[in-house]
Amino acid sequence: MQKSRQSRFRLTFTVIIIFIFMPLVLYGGVVLLEDRKYYVISVILILLACIPFILRFEMRKPQPREILLIAVMAAISVAGRVLFAVTPGFKPVAAITAITGIYLGAEAGFLTGALSAIVSNMFFGQGPWTPFQMFTWGLIGFFAGLLGKTGKMEGKVALIVFGVATGVFYSIGMDVWSVLSITGLFSLEAYLLALTTALPFTVMYAISNVIFLLILTKPIGEKLKRIKLKYNILN
């Protein structure tokens, strides 16, 4: 009973951080700082993403291997993005982030997505888009973690639907930055134009998500389940 209450409290606090504090940080970075302090904004987002883990550690004895496991998943995600650098829009980042969320939990999924963006951009170039990538990929991992609790995310149909949905979601999220970065103001007309222009990329990204989820979910998922069971972590 106590564990259940702690889990609900942590999830509620995580939702508040992700859907209230992080959007405010992103908005402040674009409007108030005019995208000039994107490194600062990126660091703030990472710190906010770490808070749920700090809470988890405060509620029970911390296990360094938990953070190590998330770091490994983020490293795999980064390596995958670098490996497929020659194929724009065809990346395994969202898939690996989602798999992390499904098997390690929503908070782990969000942190993996956020880390994947900021670390991989050390190779592809940091910029004011980095915080938005961190937030968007993080949300993909977070939602995958929530859906993973239903036990239905290992089926092929669920993975296909999720892959397509996240491809569209990523484009929708990043096009918000595209519009804001022009004038600092949001215009529905400009946003619809950005969505239309990005349609080929959206389709490619959705297809890549589906392919990588279908190929990677089972082998990586089985290994993550064995590690969780063996070391009793992230439960």
CATH (domain of 140): 1.10.1760.20
**Distances in Å between the alpha carbon of 73 and those of 28, 46, 99?**
30, 16, 9
| Residue 46 domain flag | no
Number of domains composing the chain: 1
| Residue 175 domain flag | yes
| Residue 129 domain flag | yes
| Residue 108 domain flag | yes
Burial 85-113 (b: 16+ CB within 10 A, else e): eeeebebbbbbbbbbbbbbbbbbbbbbbb
Contact present, 84 and 109 (Cβ < 8 Å): no
Q: Which of 235, 217, 229 is nearest to 154 (CA)?
A: 217
30 vs 161, more confident: 161
Model pLDDT, residue 185: 67
Instruction: Tell me the two tokens of residue 150.
Output: 């239903």
Query: What residues have CB less than 8 Å from 20, skipping those under 6 apart?
Result: none
User: Pseudo-torsion of CA 146, 147, 149, 152, nearest 10°?
Assistant: -170
According to DSSP, residue 185 is labeled S
Write out the residue range of the structural domain in which residue 204 sits.
Answer: 65-231
Q: Which of 118, 147, 149 is nearest to 49 (CA)?
A: 118
Up-side HSE of residue 44: CA atoms within 13 Å toward CB? 18
| Residue 105 domain flag | yes
Average pLDDT over residues 126-135: 83
3-state helix, strand, coil in the chain (%, to 5): 85, 0, 15
Model pLDDT, residue 165: 96
Contact present, 129 and 177 (Cβ < 8 Å): yes
Average pLDDT over residues 129-156: 90
- pLDDT of 222 higher than 80: yes
Q: What is the pLDDT of residues 65-122, one digit of tens each?
A: 888 898 999 999 999 999 998 888 899 999 999 999 999 988 889 889 989 998 999 8
| Residue 19 domain flag | no
Average pLDDT over residues 116-141: 88
| Residue 41 domain flag | no
| Type of residue found at 198 | A
| Residue 97 domain flag | yes
Contact present, 22 and 113 (Cβ < 8 Å): no
pTM for this structure? 0.84
Average pLDDT of the chain, as a whole number: 85
| Type of residue found at 77 | S
